Amino acid sequence: MADQDQNTSGGQEQTAQISGTVKIVPQGGGEGAAPQQGKGQELEEAPEKKSKRKGIALVVVVVLVVLAGLFYWHSTFTEDTDDAQVDGDLYQVSSRVAGQVLHVYVEDNQPVDKGQLIAEIDPRDLEVALAQEQANLANAQAEYEQARSNVPITAVNVRTSVSTSGSDVLGTQASVLQAQQQEQAATARIAQAKANAVKAQSDVDRYTPLVQKDVISKQQYDAAVAAAEAAQAAVVEAQRNESAQREMVRVAQQKVASSKDQEQQNKQNGPEQIKVQQAREAAAAAAVQQAQAKVDQAKLNLGYTKIVAPIAGIVNKKNVSAGANLSVGQDLMTIVPVNHLWVTANFKETQLSQIKPQQEVILKVDALGGRKFHGYISQIGGATGSRLSLFPPENATGNYVKVVQRIPVRINFTNLEEEDKNHELRPGMSVTPDVTVKK
Protein backbone atom coordinates (compact mmCIF):
# COMPACT_ATOMS: atom_id res chain seq x y z
CA MET A 1 0.00 0.00 0.00
CA ALA A 2 2.86 2.34 0.78
CA ASP A 3 4.35 1.73 -2.63
CA GLN A 4 0.95 2.25 -4.29
CA ASP A 5 0.38 5.49 -2.41
CA GLN A 6 3.82 6.70 -3.39
CA ASN A 7 3.15 5.93 -7.01
CA THR A 8 -0.21 7.63 -6.70
CA SER A 9 1.29 10.69 -5.10
CA GLY A 10 4.14 10.64 -7.58
CA GLY A 11 1.64 10.31 -10.36
CA GLN A 12 -0.24 13.43 -9.32
CA GLU A 13 1.71 15.24 -12.04
CA GLN A 14 2.87 13.93 -15.38
CA THR A 15 5.13 15.62 -17.82
CA ALA A 16 3.95 15.87 -21.46
CA GLN A 17 6.21 17.21 -24.25
CA ILE A 18 4.29 18.55 -27.25
CA SER A 19 6.10 20.36 -30.11
CA GLY A 20 9.13 21.06 -27.96
CA THR A 21 7.09 22.35 -24.89
CA VAL A 22 6.87 20.66 -21.52
CA LYS A 23 3.50 20.68 -19.76
CA ILE A 24 2.81 19.46 -16.23
CA VAL A 25 -0.54 17.71 -16.09
CA PRO A 26 -2.03 17.21 -12.57
CA GLN A 27 -3.46 13.75 -11.85
CA GLY A 28 -6.40 12.76 -9.66
CA GLY A 29 -9.99 13.75 -9.39
CA GLY A 30 -11.68 17.06 -9.85
CA GLU A 31 -9.63 19.45 -11.90
CA GLY A 32 -7.14 16.82 -13.08
CA ALA A 33 -9.75 14.97 -15.06
CA ALA A 34 -10.08 17.55 -17.86
CA PRO A 35 -6.42 17.79 -18.76
CA GLN A 36 -6.15 14.10 -18.83
CA GLN A 37 -8.87 14.04 -21.40
CA GLY A 38 -7.18 16.85 -23.64
CA LYS A 39 -3.83 15.14 -23.85
CA GLY A 40 -4.76 13.22 -26.92
CA GLN A 41 -6.03 16.32 -28.70
CA GLU A 42 -2.73 18.21 -28.15
CA LEU A 43 -0.76 15.28 -29.48
CA GLU A 44 -2.91 15.37 -32.60
CA GLU A 45 -2.53 19.11 -33.08
CA ALA A 46 1.30 19.18 -32.68
CA PRO A 47 2.26 17.96 -36.21
CA GLU A 48 -0.08 20.47 -37.82
CA LYS A 49 1.50 23.47 -36.00
CA LYS A 50 4.97 22.19 -36.79
CA SER A 51 4.08 22.01 -40.48
CA LYS A 52 2.79 25.60 -40.49
CA ARG A 53 6.00 26.89 -38.91
CA LYS A 54 8.10 25.10 -41.46
CA GLY A 55 6.06 26.66 -44.24
CA ILE A 56 6.49 30.16 -42.80
CA ALA A 57 10.24 29.65 -42.45
CA LEU A 58 10.47 28.40 -46.01
CA VAL A 59 8.58 31.47 -47.30
CA VAL A 60 10.89 33.78 -45.33
CA VAL A 61 13.97 32.06 -46.74
CA VAL A 62 12.58 32.30 -50.29
CA VAL A 63 11.79 36.00 -49.83
CA LEU A 64 15.28 36.67 -48.46
CA VAL A 65 16.86 34.79 -51.36
CA VAL A 66 14.75 36.76 -53.86
CA LEU A 67 15.64 40.05 -52.17
CA ALA A 68 19.33 39.12 -52.15
CA GLY A 69 19.11 38.20 -55.83
CA LEU A 70 17.36 41.45 -56.63
CA PHE A 71 19.96 43.42 -54.64
CA TYR A 72 22.82 41.67 -56.42
CA TRP A 73 21.12 42.11 -59.80
CA HIS A 74 20.55 45.79 -59.10
CA SER A 75 24.17 46.25 -57.91
CA THR A 76 25.41 45.20 -61.34
CA PHE A 77 23.82 48.34 -62.79
CA THR A 78 26.16 50.75 -60.93
CA GLU A 79 29.74 51.09 -59.79
CA ASP A 80 30.66 53.19 -56.78
CA THR A 81 33.60 54.07 -54.58
CA ASP A 82 34.15 56.00 -51.38
CA ASP A 83 37.59 57.16 -52.53
CA ALA A 84 36.42 60.34 -54.31
CA GLN A 85 36.49 64.04 -53.62
CA VAL A 86 35.54 67.37 -55.13
CA ASP A 87 38.44 68.79 -57.12
CA GLY A 88 39.26 72.13 -58.74
CA ASP A 89 42.11 74.37 -59.85
CA LEU A 90 43.60 76.41 -57.03
CA TYR A 91 44.71 79.77 -58.39
CA GLN A 92 47.88 81.14 -56.84
CA VAL A 93 47.76 84.93 -57.02
CA SER A 94 51.27 86.40 -57.25
CA SER A 95 52.87 89.75 -57.97
CA ARG A 96 54.01 90.38 -61.54
CA VAL A 97 56.03 93.49 -60.62
CA ALA A 98 58.17 94.50 -57.68
CA GLY A 99 57.02 97.26 -55.38
CA GLN A 100 55.45 98.24 -52.09
CA VAL A 101 51.87 97.26 -51.29
CA LEU A 102 49.57 100.24 -50.77
CA HIS A 103 46.26 98.51 -50.06
CA VAL A 104 44.87 95.01 -49.59
CA TYR A 105 41.11 94.86 -50.11
CA VAL A 106 40.27 91.26 -49.12
CA GLU A 107 40.52 88.96 -46.13
CA ASP A 108 40.79 85.20 -45.68
CA ASN A 109 37.67 83.18 -46.62
CA GLN A 110 36.15 86.21 -48.34
CA PRO A 111 34.28 85.51 -51.61
CA VAL A 112 35.50 87.49 -54.61
CA ASP A 113 34.30 87.92 -58.19
CA LYS A 114 36.39 87.58 -61.30
CA GLY A 115 38.21 90.86 -62.01
CA GLN A 116 37.63 92.26 -58.52
CA LEU A 117 40.46 94.46 -57.19
CA ILE A 118 42.13 92.60 -54.33
CA ALA A 119 45.43 94.50 -53.81
CA GLU A 120 47.30 97.55 -55.11
CA ILE A 121 51.05 98.27 -55.45
CA ASP A 122 52.64 101.74 -55.38
CA PRO A 123 52.69 102.81 -59.10
CA ARG A 124 55.05 105.82 -58.92
CA ASP A 125 58.26 104.00 -59.85
CA LEU A 126 56.57 102.39 -62.81
CA GLU A 127 55.09 105.71 -63.92
CA VAL A 128 58.62 107.16 -64.08
CA ALA A 129 59.77 104.11 -66.06
CA LEU A 130 56.87 104.60 -68.48
CA ALA A 131 57.78 108.27 -69.03
CA GLN A 132 61.39 107.31 -69.78
CA GLU A 133 60.34 104.66 -72.29
CA GLN A 134 57.99 107.14 -73.98
CA ALA A 135 60.91 109.61 -74.35
CA ASN A 136 63.03 106.83 -75.89
CA LEU A 137 60.20 106.11 -78.27
CA ALA A 138 60.03 109.76 -79.38
CA ASN A 139 63.80 109.77 -80.00
CA ALA A 140 63.59 106.56 -82.01
CA GLN A 141 60.74 107.97 -84.09
CA ALA A 142 62.80 111.10 -84.87
CA GLU A 143 65.77 108.98 -85.97
CA TYR A 144 63.44 106.94 -88.12
CA GLU A 145 62.08 110.05 -89.85
CA GLN A 146 65.63 111.19 -90.55
CA ALA A 147 66.63 107.81 -91.95
CA ARG A 148 63.45 107.65 -94.03
CA SER A 149 64.14 111.10 -95.51
CA ASN A 150 67.73 110.13 -96.38
CA VAL A 151 66.57 107.36 -98.69
CA PRO A 152 65.12 109.60 -101.47
CA ILE A 153 67.94 112.15 -100.96
CA THR A 154 70.52 109.42 -101.46
CA ALA A 155 68.66 108.15 -104.51
CA VAL A 156 68.72 111.65 -106.07
CA ASN A 157 72.40 112.08 -105.23
CA VAL A 158 73.21 108.75 -106.79
CA ARG A 159 71.38 109.58 -109.98
CA THR A 160 73.08 112.98 -110.08
CA SER A 161 76.49 111.43 -109.52
CA VAL A 162 75.95 108.93 -112.29
CA SER A 163 74.75 111.64 -114.64
CA THR A 164 77.62 113.97 -113.67
CA SER A 165 80.22 111.29 -114.11
CA GLY A 166 78.82 110.55 -117.58
CA SER A 167 79.08 114.24 -118.45
CA ASP A 168 82.62 114.31 -117.09
CA VAL A 169 83.54 111.44 -119.37
CA LEU A 170 82.21 113.33 -122.37
CA GLY A 171 83.98 116.52 -121.25
CA THR A 172 87.32 114.80 -120.76
CA GLN A 173 86.97 113.08 -124.11
CA ALA A 174 86.40 116.48 -125.70
CA SER A 175 89.43 117.78 -123.83
CA VAL A 176 91.48 114.95 -125.27
CA LEU A 177 90.39 115.85 -128.77
CA GLN A 178 91.18 119.51 -128.16
CA ALA A 179 94.58 118.65 -126.72
CA GLN A 180 95.35 116.42 -129.67
CA GLN A 181 94.42 119.21 -132.07
CA GLN A 182 96.61 121.65 -130.17
CA GLU A 183 99.40 119.08 -130.31
CA GLN A 184 98.99 118.84 -134.03
CA ALA A 185 99.01 122.65 -134.29
CA ALA A 186 102.18 122.71 -132.18
CA THR A 187 103.73 120.18 -134.53
CA ALA A 188 102.80 122.38 -137.49
CA ARG A 189 104.31 125.39 -135.77
CA ILE A 190 107.54 123.44 -135.32
CA ALA A 191 107.70 122.82 -139.05
CA GLN A 192 106.99 126.50 -139.71
CA ALA A 193 109.62 127.57 -137.22
CA LYS A 194 112.12 125.22 -138.74
CA ALA A 195 111.38 126.57 -142.22
CA ASN A 196 111.77 130.10 -140.96
CA ALA A 197 115.02 129.10 -139.26
CA VAL A 198 116.33 127.55 -142.46
CA LYS A 199 115.43 130.68 -144.48
CA ALA A 200 116.99 132.94 -141.86
CA GLN A 201 120.13 130.86 -141.79
CA SER A 202 120.28 130.92 -145.61
CA ASP A 203 120.03 134.70 -145.48
CA VAL A 204 122.91 134.80 -143.02
CA ASP A 205 124.96 132.46 -145.18
CA ARG A 206 124.22 134.59 -148.25
CA TYR A 207 124.90 137.91 -146.50
CA THR A 208 128.18 136.77 -144.98
CA PRO A 209 130.37 137.12 -148.15
CA LEU A 210 128.50 140.22 -149.17
CA VAL A 211 129.17 142.00 -145.93
CA GLN A 212 132.80 141.00 -146.22
CA LYS A 213 132.93 142.65 -149.63
CA ASP A 214 130.98 145.62 -148.35
CA VAL A 215 128.26 144.89 -150.83
CA ILE A 216 125.70 145.19 -148.07
CA SER A 217 125.81 147.14 -144.93
CA LYS A 218 126.73 145.75 -141.61
CA GLN A 219 123.28 146.62 -140.41
CA GLN A 220 121.61 144.36 -142.92
CA TYR A 221 123.89 141.56 -141.99
CA ASP A 222 123.22 141.94 -138.30
CA ALA A 223 119.50 141.97 -138.97
CA ALA A 224 119.80 138.71 -140.91
CA VAL A 225 121.82 137.11 -138.08
CA ALA A 226 119.25 138.25 -135.50
CA ALA A 227 116.44 136.92 -137.65
CA ALA A 228 118.21 133.54 -137.90
CA GLU A 229 118.64 133.35 -134.14
CA ALA A 230 115.05 134.34 -133.61
CA ALA A 231 113.91 131.66 -136.03
CA GLN A 232 116.02 129.10 -134.22
CA ALA A 233 114.53 130.15 -130.90
CA ALA A 234 111.07 129.88 -132.42
CA VAL A 235 111.89 126.29 -133.40
CA VAL A 236 112.88 125.48 -129.83
CA GLU A 237 109.73 127.17 -128.52
CA ALA A 238 107.57 125.29 -130.99
CA GLN A 239 109.15 122.01 -129.94
CA ARG A 240 108.55 122.76 -126.28
CA ASN A 241 105.00 123.76 -127.03
CA GLU A 242 104.51 120.48 -128.83
CA SER A 243 105.81 118.58 -125.78
CA ALA A 244 103.45 120.54 -123.56
CA GLN A 245 100.52 119.81 -125.84
CA ARG A 246 101.48 116.15 -125.89
CA GLU A 247 101.49 116.14 -122.09
CA MET A 248 98.12 117.83 -122.09
CA VAL A 249 96.83 115.06 -124.36
CA ARG A 250 98.13 112.45 -121.88
CA VAL A 251 96.55 114.28 -118.95
CA ALA A 252 93.27 114.56 -120.81
CA GLN A 253 93.36 110.87 -121.59
CA GLN A 254 93.98 110.10 -117.92
CA LYS A 255 91.02 112.30 -117.02
CA VAL A 256 88.92 110.33 -119.47
CA ALA A 257 89.96 107.06 -117.83
CA SER A 258 89.36 108.53 -114.38
CA SER A 259 85.94 109.83 -115.42
CA LYS A 260 85.02 106.45 -116.81
CA ASP A 261 86.14 104.76 -113.59
CA GLN A 262 84.14 107.25 -111.56
CA GLU A 263 81.10 106.69 -113.75
CA GLN A 264 81.40 102.93 -113.37
CA GLN A 265 81.89 103.27 -109.63
CA ASN A 266 78.83 105.49 -109.31
CA LYS A 267 76.77 103.07 -111.32
CA GLN A 268 77.87 100.16 -109.12
CA ASN A 269 77.87 101.90 -105.74
CA GLY A 270 74.78 103.99 -106.29
CA PRO A 271 72.26 101.16 -105.70
CA GLU A 272 74.33 99.94 -102.76
CA GLN A 273 74.27 103.40 -101.21
CA ILE A 274 70.50 103.42 -101.59
CA LYS A 275 70.33 99.98 -99.97
CA VAL A 276 72.48 101.22 -97.09
CA GLN A 277 70.08 104.08 -96.48
CA GLN A 278 67.14 101.72 -96.77
CA ALA A 279 68.80 99.41 -94.25
CA ARG A 280 69.28 102.35 -91.90
CA GLU A 281 65.63 103.19 -92.37
CA ALA A 282 64.67 99.60 -91.54
CA ALA A 283 66.94 99.63 -88.50
CA ALA A 284 65.39 102.88 -87.35
CA ALA A 285 61.92 101.42 -87.87
CA ALA A 286 62.93 98.36 -85.84
CA ALA A 287 64.25 100.67 -83.13
CA VAL A 288 60.86 102.41 -83.11
CA GLN A 289 59.10 99.05 -82.72
CA GLN A 290 61.50 98.06 -79.96
CA ALA A 291 60.90 101.35 -78.15
CA GLN A 292 57.14 100.93 -78.65
CA ALA A 293 57.33 97.43 -77.18
CA LYS A 294 59.14 98.80 -74.14
CA VAL A 295 56.46 101.45 -73.76
CA ASP A 296 53.78 98.77 -73.99
CA GLN A 297 55.64 96.68 -71.40
CA ALA A 298 55.93 99.69 -69.13
CA LYS A 299 52.18 100.25 -69.48
CA LEU A 300 51.53 96.61 -68.66
CA ASN A 301 53.79 96.82 -65.62
CA LEU A 302 51.91 99.91 -64.51
CA GLY A 303 48.64 98.03 -64.95
CA TYR A 304 50.02 95.12 -62.91
CA THR A 305 50.11 97.38 -59.86
CA LYS A 306 46.36 96.73 -59.56
CA ILE A 307 46.05 93.04 -58.71
CA VAL A 308 42.64 91.56 -59.55
CA ALA A 309 41.07 88.18 -58.92
CA PRO A 310 41.65 85.86 -61.90
CA ILE A 311 38.49 83.87 -61.15
CA ALA A 312 35.46 83.94 -58.88
CA GLY A 313 36.09 82.03 -55.67
CA ILE A 314 37.06 82.11 -52.00
CA VAL A 315 40.26 83.76 -50.72
CA ASN A 316 42.55 81.45 -48.74
CA LYS A 317 46.11 81.60 -47.41
CA LYS A 318 46.36 85.38 -47.62
CA ASN A 319 49.93 86.29 -46.68
CA VAL A 320 50.22 89.92 -47.77
CA SER A 321 49.44 93.19 -46.02
CA ALA A 322 49.80 96.89 -46.70
CA GLY A 323 53.40 98.15 -46.56
CA ALA A 324 54.99 94.87 -47.63
CA ASN A 325 57.69 95.01 -50.31
CA LEU A 326 56.97 92.47 -53.01
CA SER A 327 59.28 90.80 -55.48
CA VAL A 328 58.30 89.46 -58.89
CA GLY A 329 56.47 86.14 -58.59
CA GLN A 330 55.87 86.39 -54.84
CA ASP A 331 52.70 84.51 -53.78
CA LEU A 332 50.07 86.72 -52.19
CA MET A 333 47.08 84.43 -51.69
CA THR A 334 45.18 81.45 -53.06
CA ILE A 335 41.73 81.70 -54.64
CA VAL A 336 39.64 78.54 -54.50
CA PRO A 337 37.10 78.42 -57.36
CA VAL A 338 33.41 77.86 -56.65
CA ASN A 339 32.19 77.41 -60.23
CA HIS A 340 34.78 75.39 -62.11
CA LEU A 341 34.71 72.19 -60.06
CA TRP A 342 34.72 68.49 -60.84
CA VAL A 343 35.06 65.18 -58.95
CA THR A 344 38.11 62.93 -58.97
CA ALA A 345 37.08 59.36 -58.16
CA ASN A 346 39.74 56.68 -57.64
CA PHE A 347 38.09 53.47 -58.82
CA LYS A 348 39.67 50.08 -58.43
CA GLU A 349 41.08 48.70 -61.63
CA THR A 350 38.63 45.78 -61.35
CA GLN A 351 35.75 48.28 -61.61
CA LEU A 352 36.88 49.94 -64.83
CA SER A 353 35.83 47.21 -67.22
CA GLN A 354 32.34 48.71 -67.54
CA ILE A 355 33.09 52.39 -66.85
CA LYS A 356 33.14 54.46 -70.03
CA PRO A 357 33.17 58.21 -70.80
CA GLN A 358 29.79 60.01 -70.90
CA GLN A 359 28.15 57.58 -68.49
CA GLU A 360 25.76 59.22 -66.00
CA VAL A 361 26.82 59.54 -62.37
CA ILE A 362 24.93 60.35 -59.16
CA LEU A 363 27.23 62.18 -56.72
CA LYS A 364 26.48 62.11 -52.99
CA VAL A 365 28.36 64.75 -50.98
CA ASP A 366 29.02 63.77 -47.37
CA ALA A 367 29.47 67.35 -46.11
CA LEU A 368 26.01 68.28 -47.40
CA GLY A 369 24.23 65.36 -45.73
CA GLY A 370 24.41 63.08 -48.77
CA ARG A 371 22.95 65.68 -51.07
CA LYS A 372 22.85 64.39 -54.63
CA PHE A 373 24.35 66.04 -57.71
CA HIS A 374 24.31 64.88 -61.31
CA GLY A 375 27.38 64.37 -63.42
CA TYR A 376 28.99 62.29 -66.14
CA ILE A 377 32.27 60.51 -66.74
CA SER A 378 34.60 62.94 -68.50
CA GLN A 379 37.81 60.97 -68.83
CA ILE A 380 39.74 58.09 -67.32
CA GLY A 381 43.22 58.79 -65.96
CA GLY A 382 46.30 57.84 -67.94
CA ALA A 383 48.00 55.99 -65.09
CA THR A 384 47.34 54.56 -61.65
CA GLY A 385 47.66 56.70 -58.56
CA SER A 386 50.71 54.78 -57.36
CA ARG A 387 52.48 55.33 -60.68
CA LEU A 388 51.75 59.08 -60.49
CA SER A 389 53.00 59.35 -56.91
CA LEU A 390 56.24 61.05 -55.95
CA PHE A 391 57.99 57.70 -55.43
CA PRO A 392 56.47 55.11 -57.80
CA PRO A 393 56.74 51.53 -56.48
CA GLU A 394 59.36 49.22 -57.92
CA ASN A 395 57.90 45.73 -58.31
CA ALA A 396 60.96 44.03 -59.78
CA THR A 397 61.66 42.23 -56.51
CA GLY A 398 61.25 38.68 -55.26
CA ASN A 399 58.68 39.51 -52.60
CA TYR A 400 56.10 41.04 -54.95
CA VAL A 401 52.51 41.00 -53.69
CA LYS A 402 49.77 41.89 -56.11
CA VAL A 403 47.73 44.88 -54.92
CA VAL A 404 44.58 46.10 -56.62
CA GLN A 405 45.45 49.51 -58.04
CA ARG A 406 43.25 52.58 -58.30
CA ILE A 407 42.95 54.80 -61.35
CA PRO A 408 41.66 58.40 -61.13
CA VAL A 409 38.48 59.09 -63.09
CA ARG A 410 37.31 62.64 -63.73
CA ILE A 411 33.59 63.28 -63.30
CA ASN A 412 32.17 66.58 -64.50
CA PHE A 413 29.01 68.11 -63.06
CA THR A 414 26.10 68.22 -65.48
CA ASN A 415 24.55 71.46 -64.25
CA LEU A 416 26.55 72.79 -61.30
CA GLU A 417 25.15 76.34 -61.46
CA GLU A 418 21.60 75.12 -60.94
CA GLU A 419 22.35 72.39 -58.40
CA ASP A 420 24.78 74.49 -56.34
CA LYS A 421 23.33 77.98 -56.50
CA ASN A 422 24.67 78.89 -53.06
CA HIS A 423 28.20 77.68 -53.89
CA GLU A 424 28.34 75.19 -51.02
CA LEU A 425 30.72 72.76 -52.70
CA ARG A 426 34.39 73.07 -51.82
CA PRO A 427 37.43 71.26 -53.26
CA GLY A 428 38.41 68.33 -51.07
CA MET A 429 34.89 67.36 -49.92
CA SER A 430 34.32 63.60 -49.84
CA VAL A 431 31.93 62.27 -52.48
CA THR A 432 30.36 58.88 -53.18
CA PRO A 433 29.80 58.54 -56.93
CA ASP A 434 27.35 55.96 -58.34
CA VAL A 435 28.14 55.34 -62.00
CA THR A 436 25.32 53.93 -64.09
CA VAL A 437 27.05 51.25 -66.16
CA LYS A 438 23.85 49.51 -67.37
CA LYS A 439 20.30 50.66 -68.03
Query: Is residue 33 packed enough to be buried (19+ CB in 10 Å), middle (13-18) or exposed (0-12)?
Result: exposed
| Domains in the chain: ranges and CATH | 1-45 (no CATH), 79-122+313-436 (2.40.30.170), 124-285 (1.10.287.620)
Q: What digits encode the pLDDT tens for the residues 16-44?
A: 333 333 444 444 444 444 444 445 555 45
Residues sharing a CB contact under 8 Å with residue 269, sequence separation 6 or more, in sequence order: 158
What was the pLDDT predicted at 307?
94
What was the pLDDT predicted at 242?
81
Phi and psi at 426, nearest 5°, equal: -135, 145
The answer to whether the pTM exceeds 0.75 is: no
Q: What digits encode the pLDDT tens for the residues 135-185?
A: 999 999 999 999 888 888 878 877 777 777 677 677 777 777 877 787 788
Contacts within 8 Å (CB) and 24+ apart, 49-55: 49/19, 50/19
Beta carbons of 333 and 309 less than 8 angstroms apart:
no
Beta carbons of 366 and 349 less than 8 angstroms apart:
no
Q: What digits encode the pLDDT tens for the residues 59-88?
A: 788 888 878 876 666 556 778 899 999 999
Integer Cα distance of 232 and 340 in angstroms: 121
H, E, C per residue of 113-173: CCCCEEEEECCHHHHHHHHHHHHHHHHHHHHHHHHHHHHHHHHHHHHHHHHHHHHHHHHHH
CA nearest neighbour of 313 among 125, 109, 38, 32: 109
Strands 325-326 and 84-88: unpaired
Integer Cα distance of 209 and 207 in angstroms: 6
What torsion do the CA atoms of 418, 419, 425, 429 make, to the nearest 10 degrees? -150
CA nearest neighbour of 247 among 171, 168, 180: 180
CA nearest neighbour of 10 among 28, 22, 23, 36: 28
